[in-house]
């Protein structure tokens, strides 16, 4: 049989990995597909010294690939959501299947892209867009297809997890670890996407659509980053038996769907609390299967290439007939997506870690306790530390039971109005993940 003809746009971290692994595993891949996968053209502004492109045509205009009549599958690995969107939509118009690792593109423009792909009868694969090499999209879309998914949660940004792990384990500074993550090719072109939780929110948006059968709604995701986290809170969390992780959480409730990314305290003995470095893990809870966990490298050259190539193989296998309908892009048949409200963050429910920095006056603790009790917020545990030397204030560390965020916000406003308060209250959400 004739080889499947592929063009790769972008030869950076992921493009380079894809090019090399396709070459290295060519024989085994063709046994899996029943045909060879041939990279006909590669387009990149910069060459990748790790790739031997001597036998491949290299062009600098990505549209040379998109408009090449010989190419059947366009692999978009340049990133961003402007040129990448043009590449993907034009490839679809030209009747080509598309594979991309671009979560920003899918989370923001996926509804439009999938609609066009369906009209043109082509597939769009994006396994690499969420949790890098972990086949979590396939797991939810296919492996868990018999379940009603209740919730999913996870560590879905490798750069952020690498930073938090190195800070906790080795006491390294935030900036120092971020620079290393950039050098290793983990970070986005704009690393604030990693640090501010935008990248995780892109991925969570995609996972929620696939899990719950809802359109992609990135703009409604609540996003909080890790830049404000202090070593003090990391240490207090440890003292309480918790670790701080940057978690994405999507959960069905009677009111709608929680869609939120923020730093979260997790009991130190939970599996997710022990996912370190660039590793990602996603826990998915279905009504039939219960909780399942998917773990692996969330970023990097070859782990991400692994997912890109799996999608190329899927496309190659399905190319024979009606590809868009065999496995629908958002897991549910188009026209079957339902409208559920995405909840505002103050309607979401979780437990809370609060650090209150107060003057060391008699009666402060009673005032604090009363603010919680009049709002019906139950306190799970409390630590009152010795007065801190510099300003004589005492840190009061509290863990609450689960409560709607609006009530915690009211309590924080009341706390911050107390004369005894020395600084803004630090609030981090807590999830037991049991
Ligand atoms: N780096 C990682 O670990 C992961 C990255 N991704 C996603 O994969 C995509 C690519 O990321 P990386 O490989 O890390 O980026 P990169 O910056 O290493 O590579 C981008 C490549 O695109 C090329 N390029 C950019 N603009 C171009 C243009 N106008 N014309 C021709 N070539 C152009 C660059 O020369 C470079 O070779 C992004 O969407 C990213 O979010 C997804 C999962 C993991
Ligand atoms: N920048 C991302 C790359 C993979 O998606 C991350 O660090 O997770
Ligand atoms: Na993946």
Give the tens place of pLDDT for each residue, 333-364. Answer: 778 899 999 999 999 999 999 999 999 888 99
- Summary mean pLDDT of the chain: 94
CB atoms within 10 A of CB 191: 18
pLDDT at position 151, please? 98
pLDDT at position 33, please? 83
pLDDT at position 323, please? 61
Structural domain harbouring 375: 347-430
**Tokens 């799970």, residue located:** 380
* 140 and 128 belong to one structural domain: no
**Residue among 44, 278, 297 to mutate when testing ligand 1 (max atoms within 8 A of CB):** 44
* 242 and 311 belong to one structural domain: no
Query: Do residues 129 and 106 lie in contact, with contact meaning Cβ atoms separated by under 8 Å?
Result: yes
Residue 182 lies in a domain: yes
- Please give the positions annotated as active site: 203
Q: CA of 116: how far to CAs of 121, 123, 306, 320, 329, in Å?
A: 8, 10, 26, 19, 12
Residue 409 lies in a domain: yes
User: Across residues 107-128, what is the average pLDDT?
Assistant: 97
**Cα 238 to middle of ligand 3, angstroms:** 30
* 311 and 402 belong to one structural domain: no
* 92 and 119 belong to one structural domain: yes
Query: Do residues 18 and 25 lie in contact, with contact meaning Cβ atoms separated by under 8 Å?
Result: no
* 58 and 25 belong to one structural domain: yes
Residue 408 lies in a domain: yes
Bridge partners (DSSP) listed for residue 249: 153, 260
Residue 179 lies in a domain: yes
* 146 and 262 belong to one structural domain: yes
In this structure, which residue's CA is closest to atom 1 in ligand 2?
187
* 174 and 86 belong to one structural domain: no
Q: Is 197 left (phi over 0), alpha (psi -120 to 50) or beta?
A: left
Report the candidate in 430, 434, 406 with the shortest Cα–Cα distance to residue 247.
430
Q: CA of 73: how far to CAs of 12, 16, 126, 200, in Å?
A: 19, 17, 13, 27
**Cα 296 to middle of ligand 3, angstroms:** 9
Q: Which atom of ligand 1 is nearest to the CA of 185?
A: 1
Total structural domains in the chain? 3
Does position 412 have pLDDT exceeding 70, yes or no? yes
Report the candidate in 154, 152, 283 with the shortest Cα–Cα distance to residue 209.
152
pLDDT at position 321, please? 55
pLDDT at position 230, please? 86
pLDDT at position 32, please? 83
Report the candidate in 64, 88, 86, 63 with the shortest Cα–Cα distance to residue 75.
88
* 228 and 185 belong to one structural domain: yes
**Tokens 């997710």, residue located:** 272
Token reading at 185? 């090719």
Residue 338 lies in a domain: no
Model confidence pLDDT, tens digit, residues 276-291: 999 999 999 999 999 9
Model confidence pLDDT, tens digit, residues 248-287: 999 999 999 999 999 999 999 999 999 999 999 999 999 9
Model confidence pLDDT, tens digit, residues 50-108: 999 999 999 999 999 999 999 999 999 999 999 999 999 999 999 999 999 999 999 99
Domain boundary among 258, 281, 297: 297
pLDDT at position 274, please? 96
* Strand duo 4-9 + 222-223: pairing: unpaired
* 245 and 190 belong to one structural domain: yes
Ligand 1 environment, Cβ below 6 A: 10-15, 43-46, 62, 77-79, 83, 101-103, 128, 132, 185-186, 188-189, 299-300, 304
- 73 CB-side CA count, 13 A: 26
Q: How far apart (Å, rounded) are the C-alpha atoms in residues 240 and 110?
A: 41
**Residue 403: pLDDT band by 50, 70, 90 thresholds?**
very high
* 212 and 290 belong to one structural domain: yes
* 154 and 288 belong to one structural domain: yes
């Amino acid at each position: 049989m004739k080889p499947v003809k592929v063009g790769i746009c972008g030869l950076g971290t992921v493009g380079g990995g894809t090019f090399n692994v396709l070459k290295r595993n060519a024989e085994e891949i063709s046994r899996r597909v029943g045909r060879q996968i041939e990279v006909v053209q590669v387009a990149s502004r910069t060459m990748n010294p790790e790739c031997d492109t001597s036998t491949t045509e290299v062009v600098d205009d990505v549209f040379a690939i998109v408009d090449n009549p010989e190419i059947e599958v366009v692999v978009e690995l340049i990133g961003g959501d402007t040129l990448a969107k043009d590449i993907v939509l034009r490839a679809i118009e030209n009747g080509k299947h598309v594979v991309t690792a671009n979560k920003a593109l899918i989370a923001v423009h996926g509804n439009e892209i999938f609609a066009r792909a369906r009209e043109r009868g082509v597939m769009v694969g994006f396994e690499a867009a969420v949790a890098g090499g972990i086949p979590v999209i396939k797991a939810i879309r296919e492996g868990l297809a018999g379940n009603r998914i209740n919730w999913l949660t996870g560590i879905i940004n490798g750069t952020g997890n690498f930073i938090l792990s190195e800070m906790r384990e080795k006491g390294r500074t935030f900036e120092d670890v971020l620079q290393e993550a950039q050098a290793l090719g983990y970070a986005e072109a704009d690393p604030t996407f990693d640090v501010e939780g935008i990248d995780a929110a892109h991925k969570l948006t995609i996972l929620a659509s696939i899990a719950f059968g809802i359109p992609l709604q990135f703009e409604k995701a609540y996003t909080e980053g890790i830049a404000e986290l202090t070593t003090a809170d990391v240490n207090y969390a440890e003292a309480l038996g918790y670790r701080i992780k940057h978690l994405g959480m999507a959960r069905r409730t009677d009111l709608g769907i929680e869609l939120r990314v923020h730093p979260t305290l997790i009991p130190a003995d939970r599996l997710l609390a022990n996912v370190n470095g660039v590793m990602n893990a996603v826990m998915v809870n279905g009504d039939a299967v219960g909780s399942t966990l998917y773990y692996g490298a969330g970023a990097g050259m070859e782990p991400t290439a692994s997912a890109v190539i799996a999608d190329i193989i899927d496309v190659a296998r399905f190319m024979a007939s009606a590809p868009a309908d065999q496995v629908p892009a958002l897991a549910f048949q188009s026209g079957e997506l339902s409208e559920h409200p995405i909840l505002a963050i103050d309607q979401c429910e979780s437990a809370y870690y609060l650090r209150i920095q107060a003057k060391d006056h008699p009666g402060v603790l009673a005032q604090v306790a009363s603010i919680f009790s009049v709002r019906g917020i139950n306190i799970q545990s409390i630590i009152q530390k010795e007065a801190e030397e510099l300003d004589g204030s005492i840190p009061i560390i509290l863990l609450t039971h689960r409560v709607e965020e609006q009530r915690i916000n009211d309590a924080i406003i009341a706390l911050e109005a107390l004369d005894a308060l020395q600084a803004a209250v630090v609030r981090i959400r807590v999830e037991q993940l049991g």
